[in-house]
Amino acid sequence: MINEDIKTKKQKTKKQKNKNIHYITYIFVTNIA
């Protein structure tokens, strides 16, 4: 049960990181354009 909880938390943080990378890339591109 605890292992599953850790797994889901890791997946959530991974998704959050991907969102942040997309967001930063978007701002970066729009600033250059």
- pLDDT tens for the chain, residues 1 to 33: 678 888 888 888 888 889 999 999 999 999 886
Q: Specify the DSSP class assigned to residue 5.
A: H
Give domain limits for the chain: 1-33
Alpha-carbon dihedral angle through residues 6, 10, 15, 20, given to the nearest 10 degrees: 130
pLDDT at 33: 66
> Using CA atoms, how far apart are residues 33 and 21, in angstroms rounded to an integer?
18
pTM (2 decimals)? 0.51
